Structure 1
Amino acid sequence: MAENKKEPRKRGKKEKKGNKFALGVAVLGIVFVVGCYTVKANTYRTKFFPHTIINGIDASEKTVDEVRQVMSKQIDNFESKIRSRDNNDEIIKGSDVGLAFVEDSSLEDLLHQQNSMAWIANMSGEKNLKIKSSFTVDDNKFEDTVSKLRAFDESKFVAPVDAKISDFVQGSGYSIIPEVEGNTLDVKKAKEYIKSQLIVLNNDINLDYEENDLYEKPAKRSDDPTLNLALTNLNKYISARISYDKLNVLNGDTIHKWLTVNSDGSVNISDEGVESFVKTISNAYNTIGKPKTLKTSYGPTVTISGGSYGWKVDTEKEKATIKSLIEAGETTKREPEFSRKAASHGENDYGNSYVEVNLTTQHMFVIKNGSKVLESDFVSGNVAKSWTTPPGAFPLTYKTRNATLKGEGYSTPVDYWMPFNGGIGFHDAPWRSAFGGQIYRTSGSHGCVNLPPAIAKQLYDYVDTGFPVLCYNLAPTAVTPEPTESSSSSESSATEATVEPIGDTTQAGEIKSAVEIGQ
């Protein structure tokens, strides 16, 4: 039994020895690997990792001195292509600018940034590194060489030009003229840029990269929103076509002369331009004060000057309307805005309905639609007292019943009051027993046209506000008007009172003041 117990103890000792040996081998292996790794890592304390590029130079497995040697050799044959706007490429050699290598600590600093113990992780993958500067240039040589480049020839500089709106072109309107980029360099800034690229050995220096911002730029380009807004507004405004019967069409050929562009793209329409055009409209349409011809009921044709009857353009309203139509780019045919209107735009603006007042024969006719409907003698202003009724063409101002004509110390009621020239008008004169003839010369009115009451009543029914009243003088002739069945006349054998009151009249609750020569 004792012998069987001793054998297991011998085997245990052998096993322990074997385990210790294996452990020792493993430790030695680890130490070897670590040693090898460390040795390799120590290599990258003095050399750059594989695939390291510094300022374009392959620095793989090279020391700082070796990299410096490569950099120094680059200077011997270095040249850089200078590309600029509107010039052929130009070449600068390193020797032309005194390019020289600078031995500073930049490479050492870069090497110290390497984690040499991480060399396995850096065995693949390119590492493109930069240092601030390892080269310098001679300032005098640099200035002399660079200043001779065509890109810096200021006599060849073309200044930038802003995009702008073209002049008006008949038939096509406005367009945008594109900007001109020009080739004017910021000389100081461009030289600094070239120098910064030479000292990092950039062999392709492009001055025209937009991000370099070396060239003067136009302040406004074709896609400028404000410029395009102005273009839209201008072409809209000149698209307006406004037609008048008596004028040529108002269109862009004229409108464009009135337009100015504001800095925000809005467009102003010249008040002076529109006002001038409205004067042209007024000259074409206004008839107030212009001579009018009348073929009298006596035969001869007379010319009537003066008076307030006719067309008159409302200039302020017309200006505002024209502006609004231009701003909307409207095409329209229109009649002007009028402050005073007449019966017709024909040769005679009073049309074919009017009161014809012959101051010489003291006889009047009422013409309606070309036919005589009423006639009568009357008494007009007293010539002897210089109260003569003025000739001219006038619109009936209004008509009213039961007015009171007032003068200094007088207050005379009338049944029918129809003023047409200030305080001068038609009214019944029941105090007179005769009308016509020569009464008016010494016993006439203060300027009004006195009518027999029955005639005044009929006249009141025929006329209304604005009805034309044509007063004229005509020497008596052998030609006398033939009375019609519808016309009435009165005897002219009596005289009227020597004084007639001057009055105020009332219509629709308003007090109307008559002029002193009136009734």
Structure 2
Amino acid sequence: MKIWQKVVGAGLLVLLAAYVLGGWYFGEHFHANTSFAGVDVSYLKEPEAQEKVQRALAERPLNVLEGERAWGTVTYQALGVEVEAAEALADLKQAQEGSSWLASFFGRSVLGVEAEAGEVVSLDFEQAKQALGEFEGFWQERVASEDAEIVFVEGEGYQIQADRLGTRLDEERLQAQLLEVVEAGASMVDLSASYQTAEVTQADEALTERLDQIQAATSMSIILQIAGYEEVITPEMISSWLIIDEVTGELYFDEALIYEYLGSLNEAYATYDDYRYFESTLQGGVQLVPGTLGWSIDRESELAWILEDLYAGESVVREPMIVGSGYNGSLDDIGSSYIEVDILNQTMFVYLEGELVLSTPVVTGQIGTTTVPGAYSIWNMETPSELVGYNPRTERDYVQPVQYWMGFDDTGQGIHDANWQPYFGGDAYLTNGSLGCVNTPPDVMPLVFEYAYMGMPVLVFE
């Protein structure tokens, strides 16, 4: 046999012996390049590896940062870190294939990085919080994150103010972050990743929808057409009425301010309880004292309508809700159709569309029960009817049938036929005057009743 063949054979025997010896050795030791929870356990037996892991983790420093601030260093042991190494190391050892020890010199075996939290490394969070609290001022003066919210910016209107990240730590996130860090065997942690986040972000769908509603409401207008005039509820006015609930973020409108605004419109336009100048048939210009004639904006009903318009967010043009009588689209609530009762001349006139259609003598109230002057309107019409009341002159109750009745005030005054009157006009009222009503000749009253209508002005003056 040649010498080189002998040398090669001897070398192969040495390699084989080394391979076998390595297999035997690594049957009891961890392969090369093996780490556990960030600790190198290469060439160690299980008990040795367990001891090294426990010691290394206990002494391992962790630099605690918070953004650009460095709080200091704390050990894993101070954080209450424990590693259940025995079972995991045994599993790792068992997973080693005897024939792969040689390949381990060229690779890396790691355990503890991929392990689920709590399976290998555990953390006493209360102890960890206490350890972090050793840094001076660590838990003090932390600011909570602020939710995104809708704000009013002068000159720009309502918009969403983005959520702002505070410095208050979310304990659940902090615990998870610390566990992840120590499980990976890291030497640094930035706790700003565990800040408490805002509950409502700038992209919150409900917040965006609310802003859309606000912008719709504050860009619309409501035009109220009142007695031939227009009053515009502008976007600026609507913005001043707007209320955003600080707790729920819900959109509201200040009903008291709207109600006050409607009151100002009544002061400007309403005719109820007004004195009026009137050009009478026989006396010329007279002043009518306030009576039941007159109208105003129904503030309660109109408030409800305005709120409905605002929440709908669409511009509208309409008349307001009116209460009372005499509203005809102008400030002249008498108009051109009315009944005129001239007490001085004991005469009643009926005008329709500006034309005098009837004139008749009447008998008004006797002294002591005089007919009360005022600007009134018809609120009740009956045929036939009964007059029921108390006569202060005779001190007796009465029931008097009549064929026609038209009530025009809230005290019982009205216009009706009076077949008991011997004559009408002149000074009849001085001796045979009524209890306040306007006594009308029976042959004329049917025509008066025909011309009249509910709400027709009745103007009584001396």
TM over 0.5: yes
Which residue does the alignment assign to 1:309?
Answer: 293
Q: Pick from 117, 137, 144 the counterpart of residue 98 of structure 2.
A: 117
Q: 1:333 to 1:42 in 2, by over 3 A?
A: same
Give structure 2 stretches of 5+ with no counterpart: 1-12, 114-119, 122-126, 390-396
After the TM superposition, which residues 448-459 of structure 1 pair with which residues of structure 2 at under 5 Å, given as runs?
A: 448-459=437-448
After the TM superposition, which residues 88-487 of structure 1 pair with which residues of structure 2 at under 5 Å, given as runs?
A: 88=69, 92=73, 109=90, 112-119=93-100, 123=104, 125-130=107-112, 147-148=134-135, 152=138, 154=140, 157-166=142-151, 168-169=152-153, 172-185=156-169, 202-209=186-193, 214-246=194-226, 248-256=231-239, 257-261=241-245, 266-383=250-367, 386-405=368-387, 408=397, 411-414=400-403, 416-422=404-410, 423-473=412-462
User: Structure 1 CA distance, aligned partners of 2:203 and 2:37?
Assistant: 40
Which residue does the alignment assign to 2:4?
Answer: none
Paired letter, 1:322: I
Paired letter, 1:443: N
User: Structure 2 CA distance, aligned partners of 1:403 and 1:244?
Assistant: 41
User: Structure 2 CA distance, aligned partners of 1:35 and 1:349?
Assistant: 124
Shift of 1:304: 1.2
Paired letter, 1:238: T
Q: 1:325 to 1:375 in 2, by over 3 A?
A: same
User: Structure 2 CA distance, aligned partners of 1:472 and 1:270?
Assistant: 44
Kept in 1, the 8 Å contact 2:364–2:371? The answer is yes
Q: After superposing the two structures, state which structure 1 stretch, 387-396 or 317-326, moved more.
A: 317-326
Q: 1:344 to 1:353 in 2, by over 3 A?
A: same
Superposition TM-score, scaled by structure 2 size = 0.73
Shift of 1:335: 1.2
Shift of 1:356: 1.6
Helix, strand or coil at the partner of 2:222: strand
Number of residue pairs aligned between Structure 1 and Structure 2: 425
For 1:231-254, what per-residue CA distance to the aligned partner results, in whole angstroms no more than 9, with x for missing partners?
333334334421123564224433
Shift of 1:109: 4.6
User: Structure 2 CA distance, aligned partners of 1:354 and 1:466?
Assistant: 10
For 1:17-65, what per-residue CA distance to the aligned partner results, in whole angstroms no more than 9, with x for missing partners?
xxxxxxxxxxxxxx99998765332121243224433444665556779
Helix, strand or coil at the partner of 1:388: coil
Give structure 1 stretches of 5+ with no counterpart: 1-30, 134-138, 474-519
Paired letter, 2:145: P
Paired letter, 1:392: G
Paired letter, 1:346: S
Q: 1:170 to 1:222 in 2, by over 3 A?
A: same
Q: After superposing the two structures, state which structure 1 stretch, 248-257 or 374-383, moved more.
A: 248-257
Shift of 1:115: 3.9
Paired letter, 1:47: H
Paired letter, 2:236: D
Kept in 2, the 8 Å contact 1:378–1:451? The answer is yes
Which residue does the alignment assign to 1:39?
Answer: 21
Q: 1:204 to 1:379 in 2, by over 3 A?
A: same
User: Structure 2 CA distance, aligned partners of 1:84 and 1:405?
Assistant: 93
Identical positions, percent: 25
Q: 1:395 to 1:69 in 2, by over 3 A?
A: closer
Kept in 1, the 8 Å contact 2:349–2:360? The answer is yes
Shift of 1:392: 0.6
Q: After superposing the two structures, state which structure 1 stretch, 315-324 or 275-284, moved more.
A: 275-284
More strand by share: 2
For 1:285-340, what per-residue CA distance to the aligned partner results, in whole angstroms no more than 9, with x for missing partners?
43222211112223542221221112143344323222211111121122112233
Kept in 2, the 8 Å contact 1:358–1:364? The answer is yes
Shift of 1:265: 5.6
Kept in 1, the 8 Å contact 2:50–2:89? The answer is no
Superposition TM-score, scaled by structure 1 size = 0.66
User: Structure 1 CA distance, aligned partners of 2:169 and 2:380?
Assistant: 80
